[in-house]
Structure 1
Amino acid sequence: MKNKASTLINETNGELAFKLFSFSDDSNFDHIQRHNYYSIILLLKGEAQLQIELEKYTISNKKVICISPYQPYSLKSIKLISGIVLNFHSDFFCTYKHQNEIETEGILFHNIFGPSFFNLPNEETLLNIMTQMELEITHGKIGQHESLVSYLKIFLISILRIKNLDTDSEKIASKGNSKPQILQSLINSIEANYKTKHTPKDYSEVLNISSTVLSKLVKDYFNKTLTKLIAQRIVVEAKRELYLTSKSVKEVAFLLGYTDEYYFSRFFKKQVGVSPNIYRKTVGFAKAER
């Protein structure tokens, strides 16, 4: 790719729709930021400290980093970094709508049980697709959106295949420890009960283990607190409902086990950084109903 940005703007609202750009330092990422679109960063050279939410990692060249809308992150150079970034808004390509075709949600994006980055053994295929995207943005006219969406689908499928082959990705996040069976039971329990059980005590009772022991295991393996893990799962579903449906915030709150709409809104804003209404306004909503 040439060292420049290729950008498409949504003409209806003036917001970013799709963007490709290369970087040769950390000036774009050296402070915590949140965007209302998806970002995929290819770190091709160098070494950096990656912070996602409150989690910090030291990563080196040949990595793919996947950032979800409004997920706070920074990337600070340790050894001079360079690579390429692909940004796209949900209005340009709805990952939820295409989840049956390309299972990105919960794997590449909003993956609360695994790292947001993984190894990139060979970047040639991805760079070739990005080059075609850049050409389409520069020269494409008829059917440009459809063509770019097709390339984006191929790109997402390609990185999903790369991630599935990366046996080191969980070791990166878990410091090389194998996952205790109790944590798999916890994951299954959170998936089954997050709409009704919201506290560490709830899950320690379900699994018949002390809250202290369970919380320590979660912190050691996932590098986050059990409270945060539970909250993230609730927020993932809240985002999905806010994006895919026209349910009111009160209805979404009730669906997730909150009888107080305002308490839920404060909880959501604390986790995401913006209110449910702002999230819906800036990311989009009711895509499945149109």
Structure 2
Amino acid sequence: MDDDNVLELVNPQTKSLAFKVYTFNDDRHFCILNKYNYFSVILVLAGRGTVLADVSEYNFTENSLICLSLYQPFEIKSKGEFRGVMVNFHPEFFCLHKHRNEVSCNGVLFNNNYESPVTSLGIVETQLLLTTIMQLKTELQQVAVAQLEVLISYLKILLINASRIKMGQRGLAGTSVPKPPVILNDLKDAIEQHFKSLHSAGDYSRLLNISTAALNKISKIHFNKTLSALITDRIIIEAKRQLYLTAKPVKLIAYELGFTDEFYFSRFFKSHVAISPQFFRDTVGFDKANA
């Protein structure tokens, strides 16, 4: 990675990355599987290709925003030119949960297993986000009074504007395309209500009185994920939230998520996140005061 294209802030206590802005001109940094212990906001200014996030693949073009969560495995492959800028922030630098009343991006930009991590932008929207990122770069290039406060303020503006864009597109969804089947909302509601106790695809097909094959097909078409992947992702999102926001023992988190065996839960978590629950907690921190 070219150092001239990287501006970063390191936590002086842990010596780990707190905040970074990385300008890229090709996909060499993204064409291998990445798993960051921080949130990523990628603004694609030129190029097109695919992003593999978790187990699903999504297309992107120029003027796109790609948002990825803590330790969410992803890989980007471009078709020719690929240019843009990436912003990374650690939850110790900016905790989405702590600032949820100011920045309602958790569940919109991040930690939403029902929607694509890719948001298509207009030219004006791209310029709006890029302007804020350039302000972040300028602030990182100087040592000044209240630098952290200024960086956090600009980051909030970036996340708020990105969330507004995505939520605005949700509001327009369905105006020119057929509405998705009603069963999708029933499925989302069922998963949100029962994911801690019902872990199999068959559980939800019985609950919704539809065959597993039919429900899985609908899930694959509209969410780009199998039904099992949808359920698993929801469990993992909650496990991550509990691990970095609370001081609960791993055993208790496992129990609350419907696992009677702590070691089985740890294997389940590691198989999908590639690290153990304890290592996840150790590397992203946790906030007892906001549990």
| TM-score relative to the length of structure 1 | 0.93
Higher mean displacement: 46-55 or 146-155: 46-55
1:154 is the counterpart of 2:157: yes
CA distance in 1, matches of 2:261, 2:138: 50
CA distance in 2, matches of 1:131, 1:270: 38
Q: Displacement of 1:101 after TM fit?
A: 2.1
| Alignment partner, residue 11 of structure 2 | 10
Q: Displacement of 1:177 after TM fit?
A: 6.3
Distance 1:287 1:92, change over 3 A: farther
CA deviation profile, 1:259-278 (whole Å, cap 9, x unmatched): 11011111111121111101
Distance 1:260 1:169, change over 3 A: farther
| Alignment partner, residue 118 of structure 1 | 119
1:262 is the counterpart of 2:263: yes
Whether contact under 8 Å (1:46, 1:77) holds in the other structure is yes
Q: Displacement of 1:167 after TM fit?
A: 4.8
Whether contact under 8 Å (1:7, 1:18) holds in the other structure is yes
Structure 1 alignment gaps of length 5 or more: none
Whether contact under 8 Å (1:119, 1:166) holds in the other structure is no
One-letter code of the match for 1:44? L
Alignment of 1:1-290 (within 5 A): 4-121=5-122, 122=124, 123-167=126-170, 178-289=179-290
Structure 2 alignment gaps of length 5 or more: none
Once superposed, which parts of structure 1, at least 4 consecutive aligned residues long, lie more than 4 Å away? 167-171
Whether contact under 8 Å (1:65, 1:118) holds in the other structure is yes
CA deviation profile, 1:147-178 (whole Å, cap 9, x unmatched): 1111111110010111122259979xxxx764
CA distance in 1, matches of 2:193, 2:170: 27
Instruction: Please give the secondary structure, in 2, of the residue aligned with 1:234.
Output: helix
Distance 1:169 1:30, change over 3 A: farther
CA distance in 2, matches of 1:49, 1:177: 25
Higher mean displacement: 245-254 or 129-138: 129-138
Whether contact under 8 Å (2:72, 2:273) holds in the other structure is yes
Instruction: Please give the secondary structure, in 1, of the residue aligned with 2:134.
Output: helix
Higher mean displacement: 161-170 or 280-289: 161-170
One-letter code of the match for 1:17? A
One-letter code of the match for 2:169? D
CA distance in 2, matches of 1:29, 1:222: 24
**What RMSD over aligned residues (CA atoms) do the two structures have, in Å?**
1.9
CA distance in 1, matches of 2:273, 2:178: 29
Higher mean displacement: 159-168 or 29-38: 159-168
CA distance in 2, matches of 1:284, 1:236: 16
One-letter code of the match for 2:182? Q
Instruction: Give the length in aligned residue pairs.
Output: 285
Instruction: Please give the secondary structure, in 2, of the residue aligned with 1:7.
Output: strand
CA distance in 2, matches of 1:170, 1:242: 34
Distance 1:34 1:177, change over 3 A: farther
Instruction: Please give the secondary structure, in 1, of the residue aligned with 2:148.
Output: helix
